Amino acid sequence: MALKLIYGSAIAVLLIAIAFVYFEPVPREKYPGFVRKVHHELLKSVKYVGSFFCSSSKVTAKGVFTPEELARYDGSGDSLGLYLAVMGRVYDVSKGAEHYRPGGGYSQFAGRDASRAYITGEFTEEGLTDDLNGISDENLLSLSQWVDFYEKDYTFVGKLAGRYYSNEGQPTSELRAVWAAIERAKQKTYVAQEQNKKFPPCNSEWTPEKGSSVWCSKKSGGVERDWAGVPRQYFERDSGSVRCVCVRNTGPPTDHPEGASHKNRGDLDDPHLKEYPGCPPTSDTCKYARRCPVDVPGSGRVTTKASRDNPFVERIRTAWDGATVRVLMESTSRFGCRRRRKIVTKAPSVRKRGKTSKKPFSVIERLDCHARESSGSLQLKAAMDRC
């Protein structure tokens, strides 16, 4: 009899608890923090069990969040915690609360999946989305490095149902397509790195008085090796661009079979290469007249370091007609910046109809920057519209 009474009491308490959780006679905002978390888990369990007996669509499995559930982990006063999602993977970022809670530099990412904003830096409601359509393979590779960062430094707590995972936590076709693009970018990067070992970039310099000069050394292009090589123009087959590379000019070609005869010309006979006009073919230095810096033949890419103590980066480019353009990029946070500024320190004189006037320099240089929190490095991508 006593056992039946205990069972009956337990069932009654359970039913009352379920009703209390489901119908919420007291607003959950008034619960203490621990009670809110217990309430959330109970409610999720009740809905999950109930979905097997109701005709409505099945709710998410354990460890899978809906967007509405994740939104309750934004670090605000009545939130359940501090979570964010990247490419559908949810992480607890509580230990970095100073960055992710309201008022922090990364607060826009809390309680949602804003994968696209990691690439674009657009923090509007339209930009804070998980939609990665139209993003290049290379930028998706950069986003995957953010995933690696969160996997290493924070705690993985689940998956987000929607674009990248189903309600059961299974990858969607869209997620598989994104990872396929990332693998393509990795392969392309590997090929480029191997190509860089074979044809390292030249050192280059440009001054209004002396024009352009390029030269090769055993460390040019940041590639250490036991040969210096000679400068050559390298024609990119896909993009049609031209860049200066150092070419090994002795021994067998790089891909030459071991032991086979060769002309002792290294890689000089590669079909992508062309000599610089007017330069000795065996010299490791070449000087020639050119109106634009050799490292910016229409577009360029530079990488520099910006420490957290000194987030200001200056890049000075000297262009034609003796005009100097100074571009100052200011990092607004450790995540990155999109502020851009162009300062013409010396404008060329232009004579027009007998009058001499100072004409604003006509080069437009656009730089976007993006700094990863994990390394603090600042990558600058520059493209000159005219050169």
Q: Can you give the length of the chain in residues?
A: 387
116: left (phi over 0), alpha (psi -120 to 50) or beta: alpha
> Residue 92 — pLDDT band, cuts 50, 70, 90?
very high
What share of the chain in percent tops pLDDT 70?
A: 59
Q: Compute the 3-state secondary structure of the chain and give helix, strand, coil in percent, each to the nearest 5.
A: 30, 25, 45
Comparing CA positions, the residue from 28, 23, 19 lying closest to residue 80 is 28
DSSP H or E run through 313: strand 312-318
Residue 79 has pLDDT above 60, yes or no: yes
Query: Quick one: angle between helices 2-23 and 33-50, nearest 10?
Result: 100
C-alpha distance across the termini of the chain, in Å: 95
What is the per-residue pLDDT across 169-181, written as a single tens digit (0 to 9) for each?
999 999 999 999 9
Residue, of 150 and 373, whose pLDDT is higher: 150
Phi, psi of 231 (to 5 degrees): -75, 140
106: left (phi over 0), alpha (psi -120 to 50) or beta: alpha
Neighbours of 351 (CB within 10 A): 8
Report the predicted TM-score, pTM, of the whole model to 2 decimal places: 0.56
Mean pLDDT score, 364-374: 33
Residue 184: Cβ-neighbour burial (10 angstroms; 0-12, 13-18, 19+) = middle
Is 242:294 a contact under the CB 8 Å cutoff?
no
Residue, of 156 and 355, whose pLDDT is higher: 156
Is 84:110 a contact under the CB 8 Å cutoff?
yes
User: Most confidently modeled of 2-11, 124-133, 203-212?
Assistant: 124-133
Residue, of 351 and 113, whose pLDDT is higher: 113
Question: Residue 378: what pLDDT?
Answer: 33
Mean pLDDT score, 108-115: 97
> Residue 1 — pLDDT band, cuts 50, 70, 90?
low
Question: Residue 217: what pLDDT?
Answer: 95
User: Most confidently modeled of 137-151, 280-294, 296-310?
Assistant: 137-151
Question: Residue 130: what pLDDT?
Answer: 97
How far is it, in rounded angstroms, from Cα 347 to Cα 359?
A: 6
Tokens of 119: 């690439």
Mean pLDDT score, 12-39: 56
Q: Among 11-15, 112-116, 131-135, 341-345, where is mean pLDDT lowest?
A: 341-345
What is the per-residue pLDDT across 120-159, written as a single tens digit (0 to 9) for each?
999 999 999 999 999 999 999 999 999 999 999 999 999 9
How far is it, in rounded angstroms, from Cα 39 to Cα 21?
A: 6
> Residue 49 — pLDDT band, cuts 50, 70, 90?
low
How far is it, in rounded angstroms, from Cα 232 to Cα 273?
A: 6
What share of the chain in percent tops pLDDT 90?
A: 49
Tokens of 205: 């310099």
Residue 98: Cβ-neighbour burial (10 angstroms; 0-12, 13-18, 19+) = exposed
Mean pLDDT of the chain: 73
How far is it, in rounded angstroms, from Cα 292 to Cα 28?
A: 66
User: Most confidently modeled of 105-119, 255-269, 356-370?
Assistant: 105-119
Residue 322 has pLDDT above 80, yes or no: no
Residue, of 98 and 11, whose pLDDT is higher: 98
Tokens of 167: 């309600």
In the chain the domains, ranked by start, together with CATH numbers, are 1-59 (no CATH), 60-198 (3.10.120.10), 200-288 (no CATH), 300-384 (no CATH)
